[in-house]
Amino acid sequence: MIKRLAMQLEKNKIAEHNDRLLIGHQRKFDFVAEGISNIEEVIQKLIDFQVAIPSWALGTGGTRFARFSGSGEPGSLEEKMEDVGLLHALNQSSGAISLHIPWDIPENYAAIKTLAAQLDLRFDAVNSNTFQDQKNQGLSYKFGSLQHVNKAVRKQAIEHNIEVIRHGIELGSEALTVWLSDGSCFPGQLNFRKAFQNTLESLQEVYAALPANWKVFVEYKAFEPNFYSMTVGDWGQSLLYANKLGPKAYTLVDLGHHLPNANIEQIVSLLLMEGKLAGFHFNDSKYGDDDLTVGSIKPYQLFLIFNELVEGMDARGMDHAKDLGWMIDASHNVKDPLEDLLQSVEAIMLAYAQALTIDRKKLNAAQEHNDVVAAQEILQDIFRTDLRPVIAEARRISGGALQPLQLFRDLKVRDRLVKERGNKTVASGL
């Protein structure tokens, strides 16, 4: 029924919503657009920019202490895709889903691809999982997977990654994301050099299984679930693997995977310079890998990251919409997952819009003259300019809602999902 709901929702409900808000929106848009010389180009880039929604973040998340389940959660891959379809219908910026295997193994590829086409979704990077032991699994990953001292465990993990590539090929995905929980919890537990070499050797077998047009994203993380060392612990280690693996290997930046106060925008600038930036797992955090709503804690950092992205991508003549992986990786412990994801996409689009309207000539001139104050003022002026009417206009032009979250609530979509699915369904994932 939801497909029908989603479809119906979009066509007439969105139009009515936009008609109600149009006059107020037009006034705000005209006011801010007046000061933006490249407004047409900015709006087209916003329309083309699509953020992939993680299939593992459509239910309520939890911590080791507790998980307070939500209701009307998607109980199958099909229902997860319908939820992403709903988000995309509302904001026209969520046109992709990133699957996690084995949490989302497609039973019938043809049916899944038909549903994806119906919901105007494509499959972004597929994610492997050697950080949990599955029921019928032969050997445990307790002491790691691709790094493991036991060659048989490494072989099992390599085969899993190759199986994930196979699922991705069937669905039309073109990238594999490898995040390894491998590492150690105590000094002396691990020989770092052997762990690196085992992991590299294993990744080389996975790399060899990649189709010609595929990429492998090596995701790094400073700590958790290991708390002394992680075998892909920072951008330098990930870049070391990516450079040794070859041209199809890149470094994936998850915003929550850094040590406190890391300068992520500088990391992004240098990975772009090296042509080794895979893309992102967007989220926000105050302490650790908190997986909070994008832009909810450090919005200025998100803006500075997009400033480096636009500068670096344009310096390399890259296609903003296609050349990097734009993915969310968040977990929702106290908020409705769909409302949280609508807020995250909004924050990403806002930071991107702000970065697109920076006067690069003026900024470069200030930098060339060491005019620190002028450079700061150029960035802060844009950050303090409310560009929300611009991203709303891009949504309106592409058939989305001017205020997606408000419409989601006005239409009581969560209530409808609970009525449709009951309040006991639990989404697989974190």
In our burial notation (b when 16+ CB lie closer than 10 A, e otherwise), range 205-221 reads: bbbebbeeebbbbbbbb
**Residue number with CB closer to Mn ion (148 or 281):** 281
329 sits near Mn ion (criterion: CB under 5 A):
yes
β-sheet bridge partners, residue 230: 183
Contacts of 198 (CB under 8 A, 6+ apart): 146, 147, 148, 149, 154
CB of 179 to ligand LRH, least distance (A): 4
- Which residue of 219, 336, 340, 393 would you call a contact of ligand LRH, by CB under 6 A? 219
141 sits near ligand LRH (criterion: CB under 6 A):
no
Tokens of 117: 């086409």
Which helix (H) or strand (E) segment holds residue 87: the answer is helix 77-91
329 sits near ligand LRH (criterion: CB under 6 A):
yes
326 sits near ligand LRH (criterion: CB under 6 A):
no
Q: What is the 3-state secondary structure (H, E, C) of 97-111?
A: EECECCCCCCCCHHH
364: left (phi over 0), alpha (psi -120 to 50) or beta: alpha
Q: How many CA atoms lie within 13 A of 130 on its CB side?
A: 31
CB of 159 to Mn ion, least distance (A): 23
CB of 256 to ligand LRH, least distance (A): 7
284 sits near Mn ion (criterion: CB under 5 A):
no
| 289 contact, one of ligand LRH, Mn ion, none, CB 5-8 Å limit per kind | ligand LRH
CB of 356 to ligand LRH, least distance (A): 27
In the region spanning residues 38 to 67, those forming contacts with ligand LRH, defined by CB under 6 A, are: 56
Pairing type for strands 249-254 and 277-282 reads parallel
In the region spanning residues 236 to 255, those forming contacts with ligand LRH, defined by CB under 6 A, are: 254
**Residue number with CB closer to Mn ion (175 or 392):** 175
In the region spanning residues 241 to 280, those forming contacts with Mn ion, defined by CB under 5 A, are: 254
291 sits near Mn ion (criterion: CB under 5 A):
no
| 395 contact, one of Mn ion, ligand LRH, none, CB 5-8 Å limit per kind | none
Other Cβ atoms within 10 Å of 325 Cβ, number: 22
104 sits near ligand LRH (criterion: CB under 6 A):
no
Contacts of 310 (CB under 8 A, 6+ apart): 320, 352, 355, 356, 358
Which helix (H) or strand (E) segment holds residue 199: the answer is helix 192-208
Where do contacts with Mn ion occur on this chain (CB under 5 A)? 254, 281, 329
Where do contacts with ligand LRH occur on this chain (CB under 6 A)? 56, 127, 179, 219, 221, 254, 281, 289, 329, 430
